[in-house]
Structure 1
Amino acid sequence: MSNRQTKTDVILIGAGIMTATLGTLLKELVPDWKITVFEKLASAGEESSNEWNNAGTGHAALCELNYTSEKPDGSVDISKAINVNEQFQVSMQFWSYLVNRNLIRNPQDFIMPLPHMSLVQGENNVAYLKKRFEAMSNNPLFQGMEFSDDPKKLMEWIPLIMKDRSVNEPIAATKIDTGTDVNFGALTRMLFDHLKSKKVGIHYKQQVNDIKRTSDGSWELKVKNVDSGKVENHTAKFVFIGGGGGSLHLLQKSGIPEGKHIGGFPISGIFMVCNNKDVVAQHHAKVYGKAAVGAPPMSVPHLDTRFIDNKKSLLFGPFAGFSPKFLKTGSMMDLITSVKADNLTTLLAAGAKNLSLTTYLIQQVMLSKEKRMEELRAFIPNAKSEDWDLVVAGQRVQVIKDTAAGKGTLQFGTEVVSASDGSIAALLGASPGASTAVSVMLEVINKCFPQHVKEWEPKIKEMIPSYGLSLMKNPELIREIHTSTARTLVLNSEQPRVKQTSF
């Protein structure tokens, strides 16, 4: 045991895309602040941000049908899609700023242009997709989207999916070429390399075991060295808990009232990865279908082209599963130890309301590889079992809380929980998470540093030109942003994707 104690301005817990983004924003806004990062694993981006632990979709709501619900009157509500898309545009602007300033280089190492598509079958689903297309294609955020219910056109778009398919019911797809595949693991590592060059203290194999308020209003953390077992105390004026599923336990230990009556439900995932290069070469898109009845939104089936380690890959999934761990490298006791007196009734209410989800997860866990292949063949009719391997994806912890919709409501998306004085904040939840990291971290900044926001606003607008504006109300700005970010991030098909060289 060590009594050594260090003081810093900001402590960031976890070395994922969220803390990387917040640290980078703060270093641009207040370069003199001392920032320290603690990560229990041996390197950055190894949990949810890792490229094999998420779908890599640049979530701009171009293809995800769960962001566009059908109203009782038959019309399609695209308001959530607009919100998600605007948040992704904020991320694109910030990444472009970093590339233009040579703070990170070689954008092709973390982002690639890739068509985003939605695919449905059945008369009702095709009618819905057409209404969705009409609502979205008239919006400046989604310009360039195409719709087709012609099998010949679909064969041009998605030959692997259409080959040997018996078209005995209506089938349709939308396609938009401005989609992206994002390697959030690579981006996270780039950002931490940048932070290291800015003298940010980044400490790996350091597990935060406890957090408590001190008499002067600061936060004191007990941090254990994973290898030696030595414990040190570190204090900071501001703490951000960005430890993925592990954030809930630390939020509970902080004792802030805002962290009460919140629980978490872990959902694991499995992808199928194609090991046949000839098959991989036949597909070039992210194609999203519709979720099964009772399935959580994160389980929408999709067939994805991926670019990982400069290699083209093909993934299908995700298949949902259940593990009581809150992190892939977590403990089997995570779920049990998250149950507290203040959230017990909330969790029980959620369990009673989500029996169909529980049933679905049990069914998913019991699936054999051949049963998974049957689901894959709904996308690729002639898929062969020997061409596909199983890969375990990351853990997601869905937030459970009491809302206006009722006690024990299961939340989908990300959520910032912060103390009333802004001295501590935690990020909970899941998709679209990483894609909206910049918007979410700007929310943290606005909640936790309101006294500085006016002073920081000119710099924020330099980094994110659309800050404070509605893109929907500024179609000319949308065009400018699309053009500039595509150029900087080398997303135009006619641009040569050549690596920049360091000087």
Structure 2
Amino acid sequence: MTDNVDVLLIGGGIMSATLGTLLRDLQPDWKIAVFERLGEVAQESSNAWNNAGTGHAALCELNYMPQAPDGSVDPAKAVAINEQFQQSRQFWSNLVEEGVLNAPETFINSTPHMTFVRGEKDVTYLRKRYEALKDQPLFAGIEFSEDSRVIHQWAPLLMKKRLKTDQPFAATRVPSGTDVDFGSLTRQLFDHLQNSGVDVVTNREVRSLKRQKDGTWEVGFRHTIGHTPGRVRARFVFVGAGGWALKLLQRSGIPEIKGYGVFPVGGQWLKTSNPAIVAQHKAKVYSQASVGAPPMSVPHLDTRVVDGETSLLFGPFATFSPKFLKNGSPLDLVTQVRPHNLIPMLKVAIDNPGLIKYLVSELLKNHAKKVDSLREFMPTAEAEDWELLNAGQRAQVMKRDPKKGGVLQFGTEVVSAADGSIAGLLGASPGASTAVSIMLGLLKTCFPDRMPEWEPRLKALIPTYGETLNPRPEIAREVTSETAQVLALTA
């Protein structure tokens, strides 16, 4: 027997939770189901310990604002990402006010975002970046300093016992940054969906996707306990299954997935919950990535608040596994290969020797070497205070490129069928932080005929929907102030 649903969401992470919440609000008469292959939701990339919890607003991440060959820096991408995060803040604020989400401190907390660099070249770059951002309304309050005393006030652990050398250093700080527990946020959203009639089913693994003559999708699945098979028919399917999304989209047979592949990069953190150390650092401090390192591997020392407990994370340190998910298969990397993506994947391998070298160097680091890397941030770090924690897998997108043959793409990308009946999300950072913006884009792509009817409600959920804040300083201040108040943030 085949059940029928209007919408099937595959994957129990923040993307499915966000899309499900939007659709349940916009179209309450639709029958929606969620399938998660693990025993609980939010166990992969959305799990709090599998990500840095940075509310990615481009306040501290240098890779969103690279320096051009002529030495200039363009704030456009950083501003765009900040705009997207503001939509998330507005959406979450509305859900708090409506009682969908619990008290804000259960999923979001004020945490200044900082950038710390060393060496004349990087100091010069950071100064240029600051000059380009300081007059942008969404970056109001950004501070820059080359004074060790000021930086010590911002983040004491960066400066304690730092040797005085001829190497200059500098930092920026934005007090309005946030730490987000995406695991808690995801679980709360799914609890709401279940309470409102959505069928959220765990231990159910999707095995096949077949388009029917009437345009619907027959989805074959099995229970992970007992392997009992089943089928469901859906008018619309969203694949929000992290690295697994590529495999499922390939199984769907849609031509739009041709030429795509993914390259998995794992990670580890150093973590401490020592109260004496944690009390001295309240910030997320990012720096420059190592040569050849992917942007998601930018080193950072982060304050984390998970389940009400504050700790510090440093990393990530790259690891390698052929699995697309932390709970994936060791055959994932090989079984993704198709005639249409083989050449792009080989081209990526040839064009990125620095990435391979970086991964090898990371794999050779033992605990002591990892603590040595931490000491570049925190000179007083002692190995016994820090434990190693395995983070999640990040599946970086590889895709066809008309000029280069194939490119490794950092970021997220929605791949959808031409008729809008199925879509999936590939890629990593800044994903979770911009989930609302990504899902709004998906709604436009997959449900264009519904948008005129939905837009008034979307405007109520996200007051600046369809608009931008940065060109309007007064509105930007008003909106950020309102969401800060609702979310109990300092700014």
- Please give the TM-score of this superposition, normalised by the length of structure 2: 0.99
Please give the residue correspondences for 1:303-342 in structure 2 after superposition, counting only pairs within 5 Å: 303-342=301-340
**CA offset at residue 405 of structure 1?**
5.0
Please give the residue correspondences for 1:237-256 in structure 2 after superposition, counting only pairs within 5 Å: 237-256=235-254
In the alignment, the residues of structure 2 paired with residue 222 and residue 71 of structure 1 have an alpha-carbon distance, to the nearest angstrom, of 48
Which of 151, 158, 161 is the equivalent residue of 1:161? 158
Partner of 1:496: none
In the alignment, the residues of structure 1 paired with residue 173 and residue 434 of structure 2 have an alpha-carbon distance, to the nearest angstrom, of 22
In the alignment, the residues of structure 2 paired with residue 463 and residue 312 of structure 1 have an alpha-carbon distance, to the nearest angstrom, of 31
Contact 1:56–1:184 (Cα < 8 Å) also in 2: yes
Partner of 1:118: 115
Partner of 2:12: 15
1:204-237 deviation line (CA, Å, top 9, x unaligned): 0000011111121100111101112110110000
**CA offset at residue 275 of structure 1?**
4.0
Partner of 2:101: 104
Q: Which amino acid letter does the alignment assign opposite residue 278 of structure 1?
A: A
Partner of 1:199: 197
Give the 3-state SS of the residue equivalent to 1:451 in structure 2. coil
Partner of 2:206: 208
1:87-130 deviation line (CA, Å, top 9, x unaligned): 00000000011111112221110000010000011111111111
**CA offset at residue 471 of structure 1?**
1.5
Give the 3-state SS of the residue equivalent to 1:102 in structure 2. coil
Give the 3-state SS of the residue equivalent to 1:472 in structure 2. coil
Give the 3-state SS of the residue equivalent to 2:449 in structure 1. helix
Give the 3-state SS of the residue equivalent to 2:189 in structure 1. helix
1:54-86 deviation line (CA, Å, top 9, x unaligned): 000000000001111112332211111011100
Are 1:50 and 2:50 an aligned pair?
Answer: no
Aligned residue pair count: 490
Contact 1:69–1:78 (Cα < 8 Å) also in 2: no
In the alignment, the residues of structure 2 paired with residue 167 and residue 65 of structure 1 have an alpha-carbon distance, to the nearest angstrom, of 25
In the alignment, the residues of structure 1 paired with residue 194 and residue 262 of structure 2 have an alpha-carbon distance, to the nearest angstrom, of 33
**CA offset at residue 276 of structure 1?**
2.3
In the alignment, the residues of structure 2 paired with residue 347 and residue 127 of structure 1 have an alpha-carbon distance, to the nearest angstrom, of 36
In the alignment, the residues of structure 2 paired with residue 404 and residue 23 of structure 1 have an alpha-carbon distance, to the nearest angstrom, of 35
In the alignment, the residues of structure 2 paired with residue 363 and residue 152 of structure 1 have an alpha-carbon distance, to the nearest angstrom, of 34
Partner of 1:132: 129
Which of 387, 390, 396 is the equivalent residue of 2:388? 390
Which of 280, 283, 292 is the equivalent residue of 1:282? 280
In the alignment, the residues of structure 2 paired with residue 196 and residue 476 of structure 1 have an alpha-carbon distance, to the nearest angstrom, of 39
Please give the residue correspondences for 1:94-493 in structure 2 after superposition, counting only pairs within 5 Å: 94-168=91-165, 169-404=167-402, 406-492=404-490
Contact 1:265–1:400 (Cα < 8 Å) also in 2: yes
Q: Which amino acid letter does the alignment assign opposite residue 9 of structure 1?
A: D
Give the 3-state SS of the residue equivalent to 1:378 in structure 2. helix
In the alignment, the residues of structure 1 paired with residue 326 and residue 282 of structure 2 have an alpha-carbon distance, to the nearest angstrom, of 29
**CA offset at residue 277 of structure 1?**
2.0
Contact 2:13–2:42 (Cα < 8 Å) also in 1: yes
Bigger Cα displacement from structure 2, 396-405 vs 364-373: 396-405
Give the 3-state SS of the residue equivalent to 1:77 in structure 2. coil
Contact 2:278–2:311 (Cα < 8 Å) also in 1: yes
In the alignment, the residues of structure 2 paired with residue 308 and residue 484 of structure 1 have an alpha-carbon distance, to the nearest angstrom, of 25
Q: Which amino acid letter does the alignment assign opposite residue 144 of structure 2?
A: F
CA RMSD of aligned residues (A): 0.9
In the alignment, the residues of structure 1 paired with residue 431 and residue 102 of structure 2 have an alpha-carbon distance, to the nearest angstrom, of 23
Give the 3-state SS of the residue equivalent to 1:314 in structure 2. strand
Q: Which amino acid letter does the alignment assign opposite residue 290 of structure 1?
A: Q
Q: Which amino acid letter does the alignment assign opposite residue 151 of structure 1?
A: S
**CA offset at residue 404 of structure 1?**
4.7
Partner of 1:74: 71
Give the 3-state SS of the residue equivalent to 2:340 in structure 1. coil
Where structure 2 has 5 or more consecutive residues not aligned to the other structure, the ranges are: none
**CA offset at residue 269 of structure 1?**
0.5
Q: Which amino acid letter does the alignment assign opposite residue 17 of structure 2?
A: A
Percent of matched pairs sharing the same residue: 54
Bigger Cα displacement from structure 2, 166-175 vs 185-194: 166-175
**CA offset at residue 475 of structure 1?**
1.8
Contact 1:275–1:389 (Cα < 8 Å) also in 2: no
Give the 3-state SS of the residue equivalent to 2:384 in structure 1. helix
In the alignment, the residues of structure 1 paired with residue 176 and residue 310 of structure 2 have an alpha-carbon distance, to the nearest angstrom, of 18
- Please give the TM-score of this superposition, normalised by the length of structure 1: 0.96
Q: Which amino acid letter does the alignment assign opposite residue 203 of structure 1?
A: V
In the alignment, the residues of structure 2 paired with residue 345 and residue 156 of structure 1 have an alpha-carbon distance, to the nearest angstrom, of 52
Give the 3-state SS of the residue equivalent to 1:327 in structure 2. coil
Contact 2:341–2:400 (Cα < 8 Å) also in 1: no
